[in-house]
Structure 1
Amino acid sequence: MKKKFISGTLFVAAVCGVTACEDHRDSPNAAFPERIEFVAERQYPEGIAYSSQLDRFIITSLTQGKLGTVSPSGQYQDLLSVPELISGVGVKVANGRIFVANSDNGVSTKSSPQTVRKTAELLVFDLSTRKLERRVDLDDLLPGVNHFANDLALDPNGKVYVTDSFSPVIYQVTADGQASVLVRDEARFSSPTFGLNGIVYHPNGYLIVANTGAGKLYKVDLNNGNAVTEVGGISSLPGDGLTLVGTTDLYVVTGSGSRVALVRSNDNFSTASVVRTDETGYSMATTSTYVNEEIFTLNARIGEIGAAMGDPSKLQSDTYSIQQFR
């Protein structure tokens, strides 16, 4: 049985702008290659962030219950592993901490009947010590239904917003670790296949979230009672990871991970349009991060996960890459 709440050191975030809070936006001195190849045995990394403190990318693992790092030259190293981390999905780095969405879709070496499709948690690690500081249980907020905590976003006040792909909700976790359902929307957040996925915080006070199965982007207005509206102007865009650059440009991994679309809005994402796509070099990609004023997307071989449901022994890949948007 999972513990409902484990609390160590408080993770009180400083009030700062989005750029300052998210280390993955900080730029290293040297330019990165357009494609970074790396080897990590059966890693199947779903999430990626960049840490200026480590000068390395941080990646999760759906199958190993650990986090790893990748250097710009393609050297992989294990970073941390704790029993509580079953499948790491989305990841962010901010204020000397690593924030990870923890789930279980049945393909991890740590999967169990008690946790498969029943796990939605936020784990917070100290970047320097690698120790688990906080574990916040989210699935207990909606008992008796399926769960898969997918991606997360941070706001300047230290709140964390987490999507659930199997339940039509976005969770909110305050800076002192108090969890609640921010918004539940059966009509727009549900999907018969895979629902809510990537999420970003916009500095104008709203969230943008992707519903993969519906092929739509939605806006959640935090300053207006968390009102949910569809981002108009886009016919169908089954989005995975989302990365916001500035206030107008949103990079969306789509096409079952075969391309990245640049979506632009000039009206606060009431509407938007696809202004450019990159279909070069992506192999079952999941999400992106912004480094050196460039978008780098993780090629995670994620399609193999779906094909191996019920038989994790099929998951044997060890080569992955990080691809620059061209």
Structure 2
Amino acid sequence: MRARYLVSAMATLAVVMTAGAGLASGGENVQAPRSPKGALPDVINASAPSLHPEGVAWDPARKSFLVGSVRHGTVSVVGLDGQTQTLVNEPRIVSTVGVHVDVKRNRVLAAYADYGVGTRSTEATAFTQAGLGIFDLTTGRTLHLVNLAIGPGPHVANDFALDPAGNAYVTDTASDKIFKVDVNGRASLLAQDPRFTGPAGDGLNGIVWHPGGYLLAVRYDTGSLLRISLRDPVSIVEVRLDQPLVGGDGMLLRPDGTLVVATNALGQSLEGTVRELRSRDGWASATTTRNVSPWTDPVPSTVALTSNGSYVISGRIDLLIGGTLTDEFTLRRF
């Protein structure tokens, strides 16, 4: 999510900062909302009180999606019929952004921040709260809240990648840092580089782990794609692209090696694109192999891999930052 535009949205949103209804607390076994049998539908039109999700993940056990909430700071289960039920409701979190499922360890993880547009936002936390929440996948119980607001602000923990060992690599869009959070919830600085951020704070956003031993991260403002070595994190290479990924938000690395990137122009246009890229040289360079532009739904933000293909979420963040709430959001197959 873009950081700069949301600063000016704080005053606009003051008139709609009322708490949403229908939020359940965690601590019990939350079943998936009832879903139709068979294959996943091409489009899921979902609804929940002013949820405005930015991040999405697939839960193979429930056969349902998990989504965050920029408005309420929750994680919710979304059935294939669009019905939604709260799984995580941690009162210390203002907004949840990127979401991932760790099936092996029965965890769901969510990057959290305060963009000034959440029901729990305060002057003390706006653009200073940043971290990674780790929760029990079955019950939603909080396991760890890992503070990543380290050093001078502002801070916006945005997205993260998971490796097979359970380590998370978190981008801070407003700073020049990538943090590592190990499987036990211990945080450390992985890499710091001036190429990670720009003058407006619209820096690194989406990030994925690659089995070749590196991370791929996209910078929102310039559209550059960076390859960061995990063996030597000071080794950072800009991937040569046939076209920049300006507005690059969430990313997905598929098992076949293709990279799917959702791009948007939050605050400037409702149009977005979803692109597929492939590299034949270990991500020294990459070419676009598919480009859906404009994407059908306004402001696509990120992508989840399911048992039936890749799905892109549109949580109408544009409406939220403009001072209008909606209960509707969309998941669509790419």
TM-score for both structures, normalised by structure 1: 0.85
- The corresponding residue for 1:137 is 147
Label 1:225 to 1:317 Cα distance change in 2 as closer, same or farther (>3 A): closer
- The corresponding residue for 2:98 is 90
- The corresponding residue for 1:8 is none
- The corresponding residue for 1:81 is 89
Match of 2:195 among 183, 187, 193: 187
- The corresponding residue for 1:266 is 280
Matched, 1:159 2:173: no
Matched, 1:48 2:56: yes
Q: Is the 8 A contact 2:117 2:321 kept in 1?
A: no
Q: Counterparts in 2 of 1:3-18, with a 5 A limit? A: none
Q: Is the 8 A contact 2:175 2:201 kept in 1?
A: no
Distance 1:30 1:266 in 2: 36
- The corresponding residue for 2:331 is 322
- The corresponding residue for 1:170 is 178
CA displacement at 1:236 relative to structure 2 = 1.7
Distance 2:100 2:329 in 1: 20
Distance 1:169 1:155 in 2: 18
Identity %: 33
Q: Is the 8 A contact 2:264 2:301 kept in 1?
A: no
Matched, 1:281 2:281: no
- The corresponding residue for 1:228 is 236
Match of 1:298 among 313, 318, 322: 313
Shifted more, 245-254 versus 198-207: the winner is: 245-254
RMSD between aligned residues: 1.7
Distance 2:148 2:196 in 1: 20
Distance 1:56 1:151 in 2: 21
Distance 1:209 1:117 in 2: 21
Match of 2:69 among 61, 72, 93: 61
Gaps spanning 5+ residues in structure 2: where?
A: 1-35, 266-270
Q: Is the 8 A contact 2:88 2:135 kept in 1?
A: no
3-state DSSP of counterpart to 2:301: strand
CA displacement at 1:73 relative to structure 2 = 1.6
CA displacement at 1:226 relative to structure 2 = 4.1
3-state DSSP of counterpart to 1:282: coil
Q: How many residues align?
A: 290
TM-score for both structures, normalised by structure 2: 0.83
Distance 2:185 2:217 in 1: 22
Match of 2:251 among 242, 248, 255: 242
3-state DSSP of counterpart to 1:41: coil
- The corresponding residue for 2:123 is 113
Describe the superposition over 1:224-263 as per-residue Cα deviations: whole angstroms up to 9, x where unpaired: 3441110113332121000001253000001436220001
Matched, 1:201 2:209: yes
Label 1:191 to 1:215 Cα distance change in 2 as closer, same or farther (>3 A): farther
Q: Is the 8 A contact 1:191 1:214 kept in 2?
A: no
Q: Is the 8 A contact 1:60 1:88 kept in 2?
A: yes
- The corresponding residue for 2:12 is none
Distance 2:264 2:139 in 1: 38
Distance 1:98 1:78 in 2: 13
Match of 1:212 among 192, 214, 220: 220
CA displacement at 1:92 relative to structure 2 = 0.4
CA displacement at 1:191 relative to structure 2 = 4.5
